[in-house]
Amino acid sequence: MNGIVEIIRNLLRDILSCRMDVMGMACQQRAKFEGWLKFELAAALSQQDGFEQVKLEQGYPHGGRSDIGFLFHGEKWFVEMKTANTNWRAKGLENITRPVTRNIDGIVDDILILKEKAPPAKGLAVICLFPIPVRIWKQEKAKIKYHLQRIELDGGLTPNTLGQNADFVEMTNQYGCCVFVIEIV
């Protein structure tokens, strides 16, 4: 049996890879796609063995709503998702400035929400950082690491948790999307 993180990471890779039309547009325009991805992931989860009662915007036990809630082999899980656009330039991407600092703050907020509201259930943070130029992914990872370290520090995560769980989905030979699925305890 695959672990839940691996299952969700593979589903996300499949969703993003199969919908290059949507992802290409999102990356080119630096347009967030969290709502669309939430529906795609929930639909994919509902088709997987071991997943039951998949619900969008499911309430936490003590107030507030998660992006997705479900049972996995009888155990309750809540998911918070964030798509965070970047300012890095690459051929084929519009030169639009996006509030990267605010996007990182939003990711940290979601991690803290999971830590506070998910227990006694378990939590998963699903993060898509995009667009990531291929040259940065392959040769200048320190630029990504800077933001990941801030998320880890402010979110109370073990150092290098995000770096070890990064999955790059290449959209073109110029850019792609970096996906993270992290269990929050």
Strand locations in 57-173 (E)? 68-72, 75-85, 122-133, 166-170
Phi, psi of 53 (to 5 degrees): 50, 45
R_g over Cα of the chain: 16
Residue 1, pLDDT > 70, answer no
The answer, yes or no, to whether residue 149 has pLDDT greater than 90, is: yes
Distance of CA 70 to CAs 34, 45, 67, 77, Å?
Answer: 18, 9, 11, 5
To the question of pTM greater than 0.75 for the whole model, the response is: yes
Domain interval for residue 164: 4-184
Range 45-61 average pLDDT: 96
Q: Is 63 exposed, middle or buried (0-12, 13-18, 19+ CB in 10 A)?
A: exposed
Mean pLDDT over 94-107 rounds to 85
Residue 76 buriedness (CB in 10 A; 0-12 / 13-18 / 19+): middle
> How long, in residues, is the chain?
185
**What total number of domains does the chain contain?**
1
Looking at residue 118, its pLDDT comes to: 96
HEC-encoded secondary structure of 125-149: EEEEEEEEEHHHHHHCHHHHHHHHH
Token couple for 36: 């669309």
